[in-house]
Each structure stands twice: as structure tokens, then as C-alpha cells.
Amino acid sequence: MTARTIHLPVAARPSIADIVSLAQLAEERGYRRAWLPETWGRDAATVLSAIAERTDDIGIGPSILNVYSRSPALVGQTAASLQELSDGRLRLGIGPSGPAVIEGWHGQSFERPLRRTREYVEIVRQVLSGETVNYSGDVFTVGGFRLRSDPPEEPVSIDAAGMGPKSVELAGRFADGWHALMLTPDGIRDRLEDLRRGAELGDRDPDDVRVTLSTTCAVSEDGERARRLARQHLAFYVGAMGTFYREALSRQGYEDTAEAVATAWGNGDQEGAIEAIGDDLLDDLGAVGTPERAREQVRKFENIEGVDRVAVSFPRGAEQDELEATIDALAPEN
């Protein structure tokens, strides 16, 4: 049965306490896990620590830590610490991100993202085992590293994020789960074929690879306000965050829309970019509008065979009360 999780806001909130309060509300409403994005705001480890300390049962996890700005040994240490602090509630999400973030913000060369992600998974697993890590790969060489603390009693599952066929295949072959985003129902079905192929290449059962689909959700009694927020969010990611979101939409049959959004945004016409996102794309990618309509749309994603978790995520421009209203409206018991 598909379970419902929450993907905490990507936009900066007024305080860490505001983020924690959303995780607490999600726990009260029956969501299974609170995922926290790490972009250009507060770092994930600090905020997840606060959430772990102020909640009891809800799972936690970063979605995602990129594989360029920290070493895999450090991420292994961080995962071990968060697993201890949360009493075994951590699930680790990693991925390569993209050139705009890695080269523009972190000053690293965006080279060999797939190979780097694979080696990252392997090294982090070795670190978390508590054994001495001696690893010689194409990207990383690690010698003699070992945790000084005891390894986690509860193993930490490692999920890989990906949008393209090869990155999804990699998740199926090497990771414990796959994080999917900006995918239509038909789009995720196509990528699930890549996941199954990767699992077969790794001699694994595809059912053992957990699939989490992050879906943009905005709920308001004013349905048009909710849809406007979602359009703004999608326009920003397609227009301002490099080419891979645009390419993902193109693979799913929305090439003209993706190009129109990117062109308008690149010309400084943000309003034109927002208006280029039609109702068909909005309904294909998210659950937005009145409570009744949004609940129906979430169930559409949950009914896709092969999707294990739907993560309720939020548009960048949503206010705290709108976030809380969406959490309430899309709570699992609803």
C-alpha cells in the first residue's frame, strides 16, 4: 500500500522553529516521513537534528544531499550521527543535482555525476558498516577511514535521486530507493522501466527498491490561488534551474511548454513563463486546487503501480498558513 510522506518547503522559512513545526504537524496528521531539501538555505543536518529532537515517531531524511559539496566519508559520519540522534528514523537521500548548483554555488566541476553517485553510495555504506574503509574507485580513493563511534544499530537505507533514464537505472542497480520528481503518471511509468532494468543488472528484486515520488501540492479553498502558486513554482524550476527540468518535461511530451517557459524566463518575462504552464501540465504534475480536487489528484499518483511513497511537496511562494492547510487537507486519513 502506498504511504504518504511530506517534503518540507524548499523555500526558506522565517526560522528553524517554523520548519520543525511543520514536521510536528505532519507527525500528528499521520505522515510517515519528513524529507528536508537542501538548496541555498539552512543546511539539512542542522535542521534534521532539530526535527529529530522535537518529534517522536516520524521518519526523517534529507532529499537530497548533493554528492559534490561534501565527501562521502563526511556524509557517512553525518548519517551515523543522525541515525543515533533519531533512534533509527533516518533514511538518506543523495544525488548529483546539476551544473547550475554544483558549479555555480559550490565551485566544483560537474564531472561524471553517475559514476560519482555510485561510488558515493558504496563508500557511505562502508562507513556506516563500522569497518575500515579502503576504497579505490574512478572518482574517489579512501584509505584507512573508520568511524570512532559505534555504527548504527539500525542500518541506514540510502536512496538516490534521478530524473533521466540512466540515473534512474543507477538507483535501481545500487541504491535502496529512488527519489522521483517532476514526473507525470506516464512519465514515472516510463522511468519505472529503467528502475527495473537497473535492478535486474544488479541482480536485485525491483520490489526491494523503494520508490518515492515528490509531487507539488497546494491546497486552498481559493483554488485559483493554489494553482497560481504551483505555476510560479514550476516556472522557476524550468526557467531558472538549468536544463535538466526542461529536459525531463520534454521527455514526457511537454517539449513546447518547456521551451516556452525557459525562453520567457530567460528574457526576463517571468509572468509569461508562468502563463505558459497550462492546466494540462499542472494537473499532470501535481495536486493543486481546492481540498477535494487536490485529494483526488494525490490518489491518482498513489494508484500508480510501483510507487511506494508519495511525498507531498509545496510551491516556493506558499505562506506558513497555506503550508499547514495543505498538510491538513492531504493528511493520510483524508
Per-10-residue mean pLDDT for the chain, 334 residues long?
Answer: 91 91 98 95 96 98 96 98 98 93 93 98 98 98 97 97 95 98 95 98 97 97 95 94 88 95 96 95 95 96 97 95 97 89
201 is a domain residue = yes
Looking at the structure of the chain, the number of domains it has is 1
DSSP assignment, residue 179? E
Q: What is the CATH number of the domain that holds 51?
A: 3.20.20.30
Query: Cα separation of 247 and 138, whole Å?
Result: 28
Query: Cα separation of 140 and 251, whole Å?
Result: 32
Please return the burial class of 289, using the count of CB atoms within 10 Å of its CB with bins 0-12, 13-18 and 19+.
buried
Q: What is the pLDDT of residue 12?
A: 79
139 is a domain residue = no
189 is a domain residue = yes
Q: Return all residues near 285 (Cβ < 8 A) that are at least 6 apart.
A: 182, 183, 184, 215, 216, 234
Q: What is the pLDDT of residue 243?
A: 84
- Compute CA distances 221 → 126, 224, 277, 283, 296, whole Å: 49, 9, 21, 17, 15
95 is a domain residue = no
Give first-to-last CA distance, the chain, whole Å.
Answer: 15
Q: What is the pLDDT of residue 98?
A: 87
Query: Cα separation of 75 and 86, whole Å?
Result: 16
Contact 144, 245 (CB under 8 A): no
Query: Cα separation of 312 and 71, whole Å?
Result: 29
pTM, two decimal places? 0.95
Grid cell in block for residue 251:
521527455
194 is a domain residue = yes
Element of type H or E holding 54: helix 44-54
153 is a domain residue = no
Q: What is the pLDDT of residue 271?
A: 96
Q: What is the pLDDT of residue 277?
A: 95
Residue 284: domain span? 3-63+162-329
Query: Cα separation of 206 and 200, whole Å?
Result: 7
Contact 286, 185 (CB under 8 A): no
27 is a domain residue = yes
25 is a domain residue = yes
